[in-house]
Structure 1
Amino acid sequence: MKEFPIIETERLLLRKIEQHDAHAIYSYFSDDDVTRNYGMSTFTTIEQAEKLILAFDMMTLENKGIRWGIVRKDTNELIGSGGFHNVSGPYKRCEIGYEIAKKHWRQGFATEALHAMLSYGFMTYNRIGAIVLPENNASSLLLEKNGFMREGLLRNYIIQDGVARNGYMYSILKEEWVI
């Protein structure tokens, strides 16, 4: 990838995550309500956010995925992130993931960001999957409302805080995607 792609929607700007975003990332990844259904441990230090940003950079540099910062255009506030991981270029497939800070839930930002990322992704990929913890009803509903199909249950798929957790596998195919 030569230049990091920037995506603009009506209310959002999806852009590269920079080290100066560490405090915003820490603020929502240190919230148990956000991480509970995310499949990772809650952050306890700002350094964890800084390392996550470096991991996002490496993922992009190694063509293993891409992660955008989700920024509200009206406030210029980073409210979450989203993007593609587990990329398999030869098979034209990947998985999508996202999170939004709790104070921005239920305002349509996740839907708006998801649409933008899917439109971008289907320029390259034929299949986009998603893994959702069964308890995460909001994410399951978001995916289903946007054309994803639940394919099955992945047993003990995620280890979070030492506990094995199941995950639902969702997917949408390029020919199923309708803007």
Structure 2
Amino acid sequence: MFPLLETARLRLRALTTQDTERIFQCFAHEEVIRYYGQERFQELQQAERLIELFAQSFATEKGIRWGIELKETAEIIGTIGFHNWLKAHKRAEIGYELHPDYWHKGYAQEALTEVLAYGFQKMDLTRIGAVVFIENAASSQLLLKMGFQKEGILRAYMYQHGQAHDTIIYALLKTAYEGAN
């Protein structure tokens, strides 16, 4: 059963085909995918496939991706969740994106706080990693604020618009998380 998480302003829930248009609006926006390692969506079917991919990832226990829904309006404003989940090694990587209309309002931090708690407490993760384009200062600042530590640079690690980009690898260990909470 897909876990429903709630914060003061957000509901984190499974995405459905009814969310296709909102997911398309996110991933068709150049500002959203600028540091995502993929090209902008051009067709609604790409959003449908992404929603299916998230569902398959959960079904096969390789990841879990929540839609970030505003309680006030019941609209999806982005997604957040884990990928590269290796249960045997108690680790996963976190990823997230928000539509620019919702940037700088604290939604990413609010969702991330809830998802980190779920990862450490319910999924029994020992390590949560994050890979971030070096140019993505906002994401780097958020991760550092949440207690992640920079571990190093992954050179030419991701491609965007046919060009290789260096990324930073961040990680938060369960021991550090529990010590801070």
Structure 1 segments unaligned to the other structure (5+ residues) = none
- Aligned-residue Cα RMSD (Å) equals 0.7
Q: Which residue among 80, 92, 95 is the counterpart of 1:94?
A: 92
Matched, 1:163 2:166: no
What is the CA-CA distance between 1:50 and the residue it aligns to?
Answer: 0.5
Alignment of 1:1-179 (within 5 A): 3-123=1-121, 124-177=124-177, 178-179=180-181
Amino acid at match of 1:19: T
What is the CA-CA distance between 1:165 and the residue it aligns to?
Answer: 1.2
Q: Secondary structure at the match of 2:84?
A: strand
Structure 2 segments unaligned to the other structure (5+ residues) = none
What is the CA-CA distance between 1:156 and the residue it aligns to?
Answer: 1.0
Amino acid at match of 1:32: E
**In 2: Cα distance, 1:140 partner to 1:17 partner:** 26
What is the CA-CA distance between 1:126 and the residue it aligns to?
Answer: 0.5
Is the 8 Å Cα contact of residues 35 and 160 (structure 2) preserved in structure 1?
no
Structure 1 residues 83-121: Cα deviation after superposition (integer angstroms, max 9, x where no partner): 000011111000000000000000000000000000000
**In 1: Cα distance, 2:43 partner to 2:116 partner:** 32
What is the CA-CA distance between 1:76 and the residue it aligns to?
Answer: 0.6
**In 2: Cα distance, 1:149 partner to 1:118 partner:** 14
Structure 1 residues 3-62: Cα deviation after superposition (integer angstroms, max 9, x where no partner): 100000000000000011010000111110110012211111101100000110110111
Is the 8 Å Cα contact of residues 37 and 159 (structure 2) preserved in structure 1?
yes
- The alignment's TM-score, normalised by the length of structure 1, stands at 0.97
The alignment of Structure 1 onto Structure 2 pairs a total of residues equal to 177
What is the CA-CA distance between 1:163 and the residue it aligns to?
Answer: 1.4
What is the CA-CA distance between 1:82 and the residue it aligns to?
Answer: 0.5
**In 2: Cα distance, 1:69 partner to 1:172 partner:** 22
What is the CA-CA distance between 1:160 and the residue it aligns to?
Answer: 2.0
What is the CA-CA distance between 1:162 and the residue it aligns to?
Answer: 1.8
Amino acid at match of 1:48: Q
Runs (4+) of structure 1 exceeding 3 A deviation are none
Q: Secondary structure at the match of 1:122?
A: helix
**How many percent of aligned residue pairs carry the same amino acid?**
46
